[in-house]
Amino acid sequence: MTRQPKDPPRPRGSLITGLRNNFIAGIIVIAPIGLTVWLIWTLIGWVDGFVWPFVPQAYHPEDLVNRLLGHVNDFGRADPTHPNYIEVNVRGVGVVIFLIFTFIVGWIAKGLIGRSFLGWGEALVARMPVVRSVYNGAKQIAETVFAQTETSFDRACLIEYPRRGIWAVGFISTQTKGELVEKAGVGPMTSVFVPTTPNPTSGYLLFFPREDVIELDMTVEDAAKLVISAGLVYPGEKHDEMPEALDQLADRIGHGRHED
């Protein structure tokens, strides 16, 4: 009988290399989670800090709790000098108040009285040169971002940029209208936002003939992941491939540092 040739033994990395790769893989997993939690926590704190100054002190959670427990002064208000005074710091209550207030304002604005008051306010703002420019710009941005119309930012596309033969991922913002289409003279055009890597919030607003824009099946979220990861994360990858992808990414980072 002929013996089957054995596969050559794979070279084993050193203990330090394995520890380094595991540490880098852990950072890759922890960093996005930690950053997300930090951003949410910071945003909640910012909203709370903005809302609470407009809320009477008597309705703050700390005052309510201490009044309920009887830690009050002669005027019936919460007394911080009371020996049993309890400090209460509840994050997120300001966010709830802000959401309720925004809902009420929107409900009023949709009514007849609200529309009349809003029209009167806009007419007053229109007479103020600097304030008018700021208000109109902010209003246009808000309407563009939140309007549920065909102009919503919900499609990813592929365009040739910055020259023929080089392709870039972009986001279709609107169908170009007005003077831009007339002066270009190339027929229907599409406005495309081309993000930069790894920060997709910055980029370039470009205008392409509609036939030069290839719409993609991937969602805007998947396209953003592709841009942020510099091509390391592609849509449709299976979750069970994640450990292998982490190992490969850790090896790349480790080899890059070693070469430097």
Domain spans, the chain: 57-146, 155-235
pLDDT of 154 over the 80 cut: no
Token reading at 199: 């920060």
CA dist list (Å): 41 to 30, 102, 132? 16, 21, 34
pLDDT of 147 over the 70 cut: no
Identify the weakest region by mean pLDDT among 4-18, 31-45, 152-166: 4-18
Which position has the higher pLDDT, 105 or 206?
Answer: 206
Using a 10 angstrom Cβ sphere, with 0-12 exposed, 13-18 middle and 19 or more buried, the burial of residue 257 is exposed
Q: Does residue 36 sit in helix, strand or coil?
A: helix
pTM: 0.50
Identify the architecture of domain 155-235 in CATH. Answer: Roll (2.30)
Which position has the higher pLDDT, 68 or 157?
Answer: 157
Q: What is the pLDDT of residue 188?
A: 94
Q: What is the pLDDT of residue 122?
A: 85
Which position has the higher pLDDT, 151 or 71?
Answer: 71
pLDDT of 236 over the 80 cut: no
Q: DSSP string covering 98-113, please?
A: HHHHHHHHHHHHTSHH
* 62-72 confidence digits (pLDDT tens): 888 888 888 88
